[in-house]
Chains A and B, each alone.
Chain A
């Protein structure tokens, strides 16, 4: 029954000591932030995890306030958004922060994902960490899609119609499922109501998965640009203050970018058509999803058969999630994998190509380019990655993280003790 003897934490404030003895939240934070050993060689690509966390909080805060002024009714939703833009104090700011926040969140998460791909962060023992990240990604896409429907503009309405119609491709039960999703026989008020409800719910599920993601991360700690494990205290530094301050600097850079979009080009990522109220009788000339869905949209449209297109689109996500088992190379970082490094950049280019094709009507060379892009995407995961593990000759790995930094002879030097005491 009795727990292990509690290690007394030297908090100076008696109130904090009193609370911490009964509810060890301060020692927990100290353990996870201050003591938590982090590889000392993380580059700026590792800022994007905390940036994603920042964006999640920013979206929840702005979203909760927007929900106080928004009306989820097909007849009122569009005007209620304009009421926020025109009559609510700083409503325009909240709405532009939230609207562009979705784009910022996806930019950050895409960098975070591709950083993981480049440095092999998904490899053992971090496979579950990767899968949890993929779960967050899928939840984010669902949340973003439903959020885009809420202003009830033309692109909201027709985007919702196109995307929900994807489920009609399921044999036998497809049409019944679509009717069930809509809550009727077309996208209408019941659809808007449930999308609002789910759009408010899903971010909190994302927060839950993010907590799991962080617990899994803290089990083995961060991967690093060399992709080798920390061999001892000389390879690590405490997360706080080193990475908290580095993350703050990165956050500043990111906020400057975010603010420039929000204040000087707030409709850059949007479609003009979404400032036209939804009209079920008038289809826009082109129905384009938000930019972050474009590569998937291109894969969907590159296959002439609807069911096969839907399978190919969701299959792309499945392949991404399955990469820990498709890439069998024991070397993590692309720095030591000369061939993988090339294919990584080709894959990134392929994703940009698919995104470019997704933004254009499927005509002319866009069709061919999207098809080649789709084939290559599948080829990368199903053929190139497994073969690389067999035929690639990795460069020799450094013996430890401190070796390349300190130049060999200084392994074990107390690079850590002195600065810690000052912090």
Chain B
């Protein structure tokens, strides 16, 4: 439903989305995947969200922060209050100053933001060969292609084509602009063990974590979709009513 509407809009306002086309000329466009949250009735696949959070927690969060999310937000994707408490309590956060004026460590609470892997950007660069792993809170909205792009990057690692000159420490990725990405391939088959028994292939993990990151970028997507459906239905009825009133009022003029 989303694609045809976009195409229709694009016909009217060709110029609007045209920037992406030029970028796509250098790097192949990420393949279009099917996502549970697509379309006007789209909702997040809860099981995929849970698995995606697990992939983030066990793999991505070693380098990537998610500063805009709080542990309490996880209740929205199906974790119980107690589960959220346990997840938060598993990290130590710095708090303070206390009455003596000292900072202190305490277990995390649901109201804390996700703990970042590095204290600051310089520390992150120092630990990552000079590259800064971007914050992932908005990554799906901050990249052309969205979840397709995230999935494509995570599954797009390849051996460089013959003759392609690589900088030291870089990795070849088909879908990354310029094809050289500092991130080594983060996923390998079986890298996580899913509690629900889903086979943890690279493609499956990429799909799950892309779903989780899509939710993180747009936590109100489901509410937006169903409010939208109700709003548009209401407006259609209102507009039809207005058309009837207009016809009646104008009947004598024509």
Q: Which A residues lie at the B interface, using CB under 8 A?
A: 40, 79, 82, 85-86, 92-93, 96, 107, 237, 241-242, 245-246, 248-249, 251-253, 255-256, 259-269, 271-273, 275-276, 285-286, 288, 291, 294, 352, 355-356, 358-361, 405, 415, 418-419, 423
Contact = CB atoms under 8 A, between A and B. Distances in A.
Nearest to A271: B19
A93 B249 CA distance: 35
B13 interface: yes
Contacts of B239: 249, 252-253, 255-256
Contacts of B191: none
B138 A249 contact: no
A152 to B, nearest CB: 13
Contact of B250 (A85, A246, A253, A262): A246
B219 A265 contact: no
B87 interface: no
Contacts of A246: 246, 250
A356 B19 contact: no
Nearest to B10: A268
B5 A285 contact: no
A255 B231 CA distance: 10
Given A242-B250, A286-B22, A352-B15, 8 more contacts: A86-B68, A242-B253, A252-B239, A253-B239, A263-B229, A265-B2, A272-B146, A291-B13
A286 B246 contact: no
Given A275-B142, A276-B142, A360-B22, A419 B252 contact: yes
Given A245-B249, A246-B246, A272-B142, A358 B228 contact: no
A273 B27 CA distance: 17
A184 to B, nearest CB: 23
B23 A285 contact: yes
B68 A79 contact: yes
Nearest to B17: A268
A14 B246 CA distance: 31
B106 interface: no
B249 A241 contact: yes
Interface string B1-36: 110011001000111111101110000000000000
A364 to B, nearest CB: 10
A267 B2 CA distance: 12
Contacts of B127: none
B235 A259 contact: yes
B236 interface: yes
Nearest to A405: B254
Nearest to A357: B15
Nearest to B237: A252
Contacts of A405: 254
Interface of B: 1-2, 5-6, 9, 13-19, 21-23, 40, 68, 73, 134, 137-138, 141-144, 146, 177, 217, 219-220, 223-225, 227-229, 231-232, 235-236, 238-239, 242-243, 245-246, 249-254
10 contacts: A79-B68, A82-B138, A242-B249, A252-B235, A259-B235, A260-B232, A268-B16, A268-B17, A285-B23, A359-B19
Contact of A419 (B13, B228, B253): B253
A260 B5 contact: yes
Given A259-B228, A294-B15, A419-B252, A361 B142 contact: no
B5 A264 contact: yes
Contacts of A107: 13
Contacts of A275: 138, 141-142, 217
Contacts of B228: 259-260, 262-264
Contacts of B18: 356, 359-360
A245 B249 CA distance: 8
Contacts of B142: 272-273, 275-276
A248 B227 CA distance: 22
Given A237-B253, A249-B246, A263-B232, A93 B19 contact: no
Contacts of A355: 13-15
Nearest to B178: A285
B14 A356 contact: yes
Given A249-B239, A275-B142, A415 B6 contact: no
A415 B252 contact: yes
B249 A423 contact: yes
A92 B224 contact: yes
Nearest to B248: A245
Most chain B CB neighbours (cut-off 10 Å) among A96, A263, A269, A288? A263
A273 B229 CA distance: 28
Nearest to A266: B224
Contacts of A267: 141
User: Which 4 pairs, one residue from A and one from B, show the smallest C-beta to C-beta distance?
Assistant: A263-B228, A252-B239, A355-B15, A359-B18
A72 B2 CA distance: 34
B6 A265 contact: yes
Contact of A92 (B9, B13, B134, B220): B220
A155 B107 CA distance: 38
Contacts of B227: 93, 263
B219 A86 contact: yes
A232 B119 CA distance: 78
B254 to A, nearest CB: 8
A82 B68 contact: yes
Nearest to B224: A263
A286 B19 contact: yes
A359 B220 CA distance: 30
Contacts of A252: 235, 238-239, 242-243
A183 to B, nearest CB: 26
A291 B229 CA distance: 27
A17 B9 CA distance: 50
A272 B141 contact: yes
A248 B224 contact: no
Nearest to B220: A92
Contacts of B17: 268
B232 A259 contact: yes
